[in-house]
Amino acid sequence: MRNIYFFTILFFCISPLFAKQIEVCSTCDIKTIKEAILIAEDGDEIIIKRGVYKEHGVILINKSVKIKGIGMPIIDGEFKETILKIKADNFSIEGLKIINVGQSYTKDFAAILVSKSRNFTIKNNILEDVFFGILIEKSHYGTIENNDVSSHAKDQASSGNGIHLWHCSNMQASRNTIHGVRDGIYFEFVKKSKIFDNNSYDNLRYGLHFMFSNENEYFDNVFTNNGAGVAVMFSKFIKMRNNIFTKNWGSASYGLLLKEIYDAEIENNTFEQNTIGISVDGSTRINYKKNTFSRNGWAIKIVGACYENDFAQNSFLNNALDLSYNSKINSNKFDNNYWSDYTGYDLDKNGIGDVPYRPVKLFSYIVHNTPEAIILLRSLFVDIINFSEKVSPVFTPDNLVDNSPLMKNTND
Amino acid sequence: MFKILKYSFYDLMRSRWSYVYFLFYLALGFVLLFLNNDINKAIITLMNIIIVLTPLIGTIFGVMYYYNSKEFTELLLAQPIKRSTIFMGQYLGISISLTLSLALGLGIPFLLYGLFRSTAIFDFGLLLVVGSFLNFIFVALAFNIALSNENKIKGFGYAILMWLFLAVIYDGIFLISLLVFNEYPLDKFSLIATMFNPIDLSRILILLKLDISALLGYTGAIFKKFFGTNLGMIISFVVLFLWVLFPVWRMNIKLRRKDF
């Protein structure tokens, strides 16, 4: 007790002038993180030393402190509730291993919950067996960097998301690894934020999920073997660059789902071995440029109500079906793409095929109307009808053509 | 029976056509692997060829061999040997020599390109097994047709028609019925319809083992549930086996009654 008094007096004297360090360990004066936070002041640094701390419901309010773990101290929530709750500006959390977050069907328990905060950093943490990993509400200018979030999600109803942002802006999520949760990264009502260099795999639902989030960017991420890849829904002005979407393979899977998206840029991405590379539904003014689609079931599946999409300089390599298209052409354009199925010639040697290419085959048109017909894939009969349709198109939209298909694959 | 089997086998081994067939597969294997070094991709291309070509070659070889060796067969029939022994010997002789051409012709290039170091070895094995089944099935069907038709031209005509029907027309009818009965649940129907055509059955067996299984799962989970499991595999192979047994059985019935 005396120590605490001593420290408290000391803080009141010194803290306005100097930031001090508070050490937490099993042999220190301060043994729990809760105590440390209680006595901490603005600008202090809480150093948590190696050890296991069985704590949950730790609350940090209105104190700008730095919490730093040395030697990866373990904070074990014992499956009770949210472990760290924070509402403060200018704080940071670094080098902690937070495990065992409680599960709930009514409350969103998280390893780290941040609400109404500004200018914070959460980095180099390991979060294991979480319900929600990092849950951030109504916060701005935060950085979430180099965290490893994982869990053992069994079904969607009883699991949470790795990094969940709600009503935030100007956030940055980078170099995180997320696996075994429901959605790897979930953005809901988030503006002007960046997601890059993350690796999101083996998640139950989506690797990355956008809802009502405008003007965001995500690039250089890898999304592998998630329930359904990446979903971008009801959002505007999203930039997607240099991402890799692979092995999102399953009966209702896709690499990227676009639903009600406007004015997006999709550039330089790689879609490999997905059931559907990109599934597009009600999306308008989107530029697809320099993407590579290889060995997907469908490279692109356009469901309907899509206007003024521009597909240029993409490579379509060995997909079972390149394009599935159900409605009118609706001023969507295909130009300068490379199609591995293209059989035309280039007499003037300018690298552009002299014969237009029709990406929609009769068979993909039939499969669109009668899904069961997919069982005839690669049958000789199907090859014959595809060929005859190619020679004289009757069923497939006759203005859906790539007038200048490339002769060589330009994206490597 | 083994003597006759041995005789027709050696006879075929000496014949030019077996070598042509063998060299064709050898060249095909090398060219495919030369054009893209990826064994997995080569297997997908190979599937398209095996599914169409093996039945065709089996049919033509079967019919041709029957008509060509007719006089010799009649000579044999004069001896105290059972009819079924003679024809089964011949049937097995052709089927085995064709299968050997297929297995060696494709096996050698793939082995040279490092099949054993690749993960595709099971897919390749399945491809060969399915190809062999198709050989046995179509040679048996061809023998049936040849036995029922004394007229060579007619026999050839029917045999080609049979191949055309199973390889192309059947799928056409299948597709049209799928389109016409669009409103009804078609999963079970298409599952059963594939069972009645050995070419379709082998195609789907291979497709499901290769990377396209999820496409099928997208519409009818029932296909994947059926073919994807071990039970489905076993049932499919049993059906393929029945496809061999039934024509062979009919061949034997036909033999007993036939007046040579």
What pLDDT, on a 0 to 100 scale, did the predictor assign at position A18? 64
Q: Looking at residues A379-397, what average pLDDT do you find?
A: 85
Measured between beta carbons, which residues in chain A are less than 8 angstroms from residue B187? 372
The average confidence (pLDDT) of chain A is 89
> Quick one: pLDDT band at residue A9, thresholds 50, 70, 90?
low
pLDDT at A10 over 80: no
Contact B178 A373 (CB under 8 A): yes
Q: Looking at residues A67-71, what average pLDDT do you find?
A: 92
Q: DSSP class of residue B142?
A: H
Give Cα separations from A267 to A220, A259, A270 (angstroms).
11, 18, 9
Please give the full DSSP string across B172-206, using - where no structure is assigned. HHHHHHHHHTTTS--HHHHHHHHHT-HHHHHHHHH
pLDDT at B226 over 80: no
What pLDDT, on a 0 to 100 scale, did the predictor assign at position A149? 95
Contact A256, A278 (CB under 8 A): yes
d(CA A83, CA A361) in angstroms, rounded, equals 55
Contact A378 B200 (CB under 8 A): no
CA dihedral B39, B41, B43, B44 (to 10 degrees): 170
Task: State percent of chain A over pLDDT 70.
Answer: 95
Give the residue on A whose Cα is nearest the Cα of B163: A380
Cβ partners under 8 Å of residue A169, min gap 6: A140, A141, A190, A191, A192, A193
d(CA B143, CA A249) in angstroms, rounded, equals 44
Q: What is the domain extent for residue B113?
A: 2-257
Residue predicted with more confidence, A161 or A18: A161
Phi and psi, residue B132, nearest 5°: -65, -45
> Quick one: pLDDT band at residue A36, thresholds 50, 70, 90?
very high
Question: Best mutation site among A366, A375, A384 for testing chain B: the one with the most B CBs within 10 Å?
Answer: A375
Contact A68, A94 (CB under 8 A): yes
CB of B225 within 8 Å of a chain A CB? The answer is: no
Question: How is residue B171 written in tokens?
Answer: 């799928």
Domain count, chain B: 1
Contact A297, B214 (CB under 8 A): yes
- Which member of A253, A273, A382 has the closest CB to residue B211? A273
pLDDT at A1 over 80: no
What pLDDT, on a 0 to 100 scale, did the predictor assign at position A209? 93
pLDDT at B217 over 60: no
> A3-7 — which CB contacts under 8 Å span 24+ positions?
A3/A29, A4/A29, A4/A39, A7/A39
Which has the minimum average pLDDT: A53-57, A286-290, B229-233?
A: B229-233
pLDDT tens, A348-360? 889 999 988 988 8
Measured between beta carbons, which residues in chain B are less than 8 angstroms from residue A373? 175, 178-179
What pLDDT, on a 0 to 100 scale, did the predictor assign at position A11? 53
- Report the alpha-carbon angle A55-A61-A64, nearest 5: 105
pLDDT at B216 over 80: no
Find where tokens 């120590």 sit: A3
What are B216's strand-pairing partners?
Answer: none
Q: DSSP class of residue B166?
A: I
Burial status of residue A276 (CB atoms within 10 A of its CB: 0-12, 13-18, 19 or more): buried
CA dihedral A55, A58, A64, A67 (to 10 degrees): 10
pLDDT at A134 over 90: yes
Query: Tell me, what's the ipTM?
Result: 0.83
pLDDT at B178 over 90: no
Q: Which residues of A touch B (CB under 8 A)?
A: 249-253, 273, 275, 295, 297-298, 318, 320, 366, 369-382, 384
